[in-house]
Chains A and B, each alone.
Chain A
Amino acid sequence: MSKKTYATAIRDVIAEEMRRDENVFVMGEDIELLGGIFGCTRDLYKEFGTDRIRNTPISEAAMVGAGVGAACAGMRPIVELMYMDFTLVAADQIINQAAKTRYIFGGKAKIPLVIRGQQGIGRGNAATHSQSLETIFMHFPGIKVACPSNAADAAGLLRTAIRDDNPVMFFEHKALYASKFEVPDDPDFCIPFGKAEIKRTGKDVTIVGSLLYVSRALEAAAELEKIGIDAEVIDPRTMVPFDMDTIIESVKKTGKLVVVHEAHKVAGWGAEVVSEVVDGAFKYLDAAPIHLGAKACPLPFNIELENAVVPSVQQIVEAAKKVCYR
């Protein structure tokens, strides 16, 4: 085990996979000498050269499309988008091309493509650079979606993503890059997709959160413990495939559910979790589940306004108390 930041864990996995497989390469904006604005490719050009750590023009549709084409032709591209908000600039190439190519070609194509980058609040990047967009990409069959909440998960999930023969959207969180965590040194350390992690076991209420909201849910659980509520915290880790079974089993035990995410609440993935839990564990529920997410408002610049739009730890605590009738 080595203690690493989330950013370093990502960088190390990219380097290890590039050493292991010469078909792996990275293209993105400012990834050569600058090493990416969050340092996820720092100095990699020195080892791998600028053919494989490749600066692109600011042309997101062409970058992602070139990733699809290179993947069809036997490469394993990693496309770094500086902000996952820019997926919207490349939306056709992701949604109409990468996601559908295998299916519409009758299963004859393999698209081993990773589209990775960061999203979310925390750096005052305002409305077009602070969104949480994992939900919208869950809607389109044919792409996998990963959301690591710590450095170890970032390492294990990214390695799985790079080795997967399907397109994977890899959503990092900008506020997590500097956070440190023990990461296994095993160069084959992979975390399978579709396996949620129970971050804290508890018997009174199930709290589901991802990315930044795993640590916030754990903070809320610590607060709840003080008043005698024993919360179970679950991190789905991947959104596609989504491990609904672990959540349903947990709710069968606790009888209560709070889902929280930074993505907008309206049609956010938390609604899907509530729907599935109602379907799969209705008779076990002791209270109506609560779904928390960002208000239906663009992310504002001012930090106090930004914090007012996304769910707070206190709101998670209050929601858990409410479903526990406290």
Chain B
Amino acid sequence: MISKERKFWIYEIMNKIRYFELKALRLFEENKLRGSVHLYAGEEAVAAAVCSQLTDDDYITSTHRGHGHCIAKGAELDKAMAELMGKETGYCKGRSGSMHIADFTKGNLGANAIVGGGIPIATGAALAAKLQKNDKVAVSFFGDGASNEGTFHESLNLAAVWKLPIIFVCENNGFGISVPVAQSTSVENISDRAVGYGIPGVTVDGNDVFAVYEAFETAVKRAKAGDGPTLIECKTYRTLGHWTGDPQTYRDKKDVEMWRDTKDPIQLFKKRLVDAGDFTAAELDEVEEAAKVEADAAAEFAINSPNPDPADVMDDVFYEA
């Protein structure tokens, strides 16, 4: 059972992510934003349902498609957008851009532009939690493509052997850039790979908040009980291109429209909330409007923020006491 407050939080976060992404896309198209920008629209249920069960003390590592995880783990839209625009006011003072946003004060150990690069790092954070004997858990978000990287397999084995408090959350959005999963991946369900490491593996509908929530809830209980990791595969779909300039020649437009129009995670969740009588459609529309306003304000903040000073470019290569 998800509490009413938590349902509201999840809905709010999903909308913040969606309108942040659409705003980022608009800014990119207007040449106000450059670099590699990978949008999360259509996959919001995963980040929101997972992070609704974490505190600021719990850890996540994220991916090149990391804005959603970052926002769900507590990032403020204005600082995140400022980072996308490379501004001094951004989370990483313009050093990172879209693909490496981190906020250690919220337990976000960073998006990671190397596919599979964050999986061992989350595993190490879980090891620290175990050694420090606290109640923290770590979550590693990664995609279907990362499940073919060595770090995925090494980390699952390591976390299983050491019974670490970590949940591996695979967002299977159907494609590694242009390559369909069936062409790159030897199993039908990526969660089947859990068997090879002696841990539970479960596949859920990644566009269904409730399904993701319940699977994650079970996994967190197992992690906190000291029983070790779980692999959760969330089957979802990226409704925008791999990156903002993706010509998308590798997939049928009808598929994209089908997912966008009939399986949108925000609309599905909204319907469930209204049908259950948790909130009225009007109440939820207000949330959506507020998210739009917040995303617009974040863009304004980012546009009006100063660029970092090139004189400071060598700062922070090393920690200096």
Asked if A and B bind, the verdict is yes
Are B92 and A104 interface neighbours, CB within 8 A? yes
B107-123: which residues lie under 8 A (CB-CB) from chain A? 109-110, 112, 114, 117, 119-123
Contact of A64 among B61, B95, B103, B120 (CB under 8 A): B120
Given known contacts A59-B157, A62-B158, A96-B117, A73 and B315 CB-to-CB distance under 8 angstroms: no
Given known contacts A73-B128, A105-B110, A166-B319, A62 and B96 CB-to-CB distance under 8 angstroms: no
Are A106 and B92 interface neighbours, CB within 8 A? yes
Are B124 and A106 interface neighbours, CB within 8 A? no
Are A73 and B96 interface neighbours, CB within 8 A? no
Q: Does A69 contact B (CB under 8 A)?
A: yes
A102 to B128, CA, bound (A): 19
Are A92 and B95 interface neighbours, CB within 8 A? no
Q: Does B59 contact A (CB under 8 A)?
A: yes
Counting chain B CB atoms within 10 Å of each CB, the highest count among A52, A71, A73, A102 belongs to A73
Are A109 and B102 interface neighbours, CB within 8 A? yes
Are B93 and A68 interface neighbours, CB within 8 A? no
- Cβ contacts B76-120/A at 8 Å (1 or 0 each): 000000000000001111111000101110000110101001011
Q: Does A286 contact B (CB under 8 A)?
A: no
Smallest Cβ distance from A166 to chain B, in angstroms? 5
Q: Does B236 contact A (CB under 8 A)?
A: no
- Cβ-closest chain A residue relative to B96: A104
Residues of B within 8 A of A215 (CB): none
A141 to B161, CA, bound (A): 34
Are B317 and A73 interface neighbours, CB within 8 A? no
A25 to B109, CA, bound (A): 21
How many residues on chain B are close to A (CB under 8 Å)? Answer: 45
Are B120 and A70 interface neighbours, CB within 8 A? no
Are A73 and B59 interface neighbours, CB within 8 A? yes
Given known contacts A59-B158, A70-B131, A74-B128, A106 and B91 CB-to-CB distance under 8 angstroms: yes
Are B124 and A67 interface neighbours, CB within 8 A? yes
B213-230: which residues lie under 8 A (CB-CB) from chain A? none
A96 to B122, CA, bound (A): 15
Residues of A within 8 A of B129 (CB): 73
Residues of B within 8 A of A144 (CB): 318
For the complex with contacts A104-B92, A105-B92, 19 further pairs of A-B residues with Cβ separation under 8 Å are: A57-B161, A65-B117, A65-B155, A66-B158, A69-B109, A69-B124, A69-B126, A70-B128, A72-B109, A74-B128, A75-B131, A93-B117, A101-B110, A102-B319, A105-B100, A106-B90, A106-B92, A109-B104, A110-B319
A-B pairs with lowest CB-CB distance, top 7: A69-B124, A65-B120, A107-B316, A66-B124, A73-B128, A62-B154, A106-B92
Q: Which chain A residues have a beta carbon within 8 Å of chain B's beta carbons?
A: 25, 51-52, 56-57, 59, 61-75, 77, 92-93, 96-97, 101-111, 141-142, 144, 165-166
Between-chain CB contacts (< 8 Å), 21 pairs: A59-B154, A61-B120, A61-B150, A62-B157, A63-B158, A68-B120, A69-B128, A69-B138, A70-B127, A73-B128, A75-B132, A92-B117, A97-B121, A101-B110, A104-B95, A105-B91, A106-B95, A108-B92, A108-B103, A109-B104, A166-B319
